[in-house]
Structure 1
């Protein structure tokens, strides 16, 4: 039975330490479901598609503070 997620499409959390928000240059946080990178400072969520973070402002969506809290629940 094939795996639901291709292992090549899983983002390496160690590589996240090198990524910053393109707008604020602050650290990004991986969402609890691992589908987005969150910039708390900019209140933006950047999608992760097939293991590749799309750090373009055109691809980002705005998030409110309550949603940021929910998306990052369990992460420091």
Structure 2
């Protein structure tokens, strides 16, 4: 049986180049350790689930904690 579902998924670097913060419209940085996209301007961290960036403010983690 394949372990495709258990293999960690990485984000396509080309996708990271075109994504912007939905709040500030600024650049995002990739935190590989936490698997998040960071918006310094908005002070938010957007999760990446199964290789898909979740760009919803409601699902973002505040960096002010």
TM superposition score category, shorter chain reference: 0.7 to 0.9
Structure 1 distance, partners of 2:14, 2:58, is 25
More helix by share: 1
Name stretches of at least 5 consecutive residues in structure 2 with no aligned partner.
none
- 1:6-45: per-residue Cα shift (whole Å, max 9, x none)? 5xx3211221010000000001000031510000000000
Which portions of structure 1, spanning 4 or more consecutive aligned residues, are displaced by more than 6 angstroms? none
Name stretches of at least 5 consecutive residues in structure 1 with no aligned partner.
68-76
Looking at both structures, which has the greater relative contact order when contacts are Cα pairs under 8 Å and sequence separation is at least 6? 1
Q: What is aligned with 1:13?
A: 13
Q: What is aligned with 2:60?
A: 60
With normalisation by structure 2, the TM-score equals 0.82
Superposed displacement of residue 5, structure 1:
1.9
Structure 1 distance, partners of 2:46, 2:7, is 20
More strand by share: 2
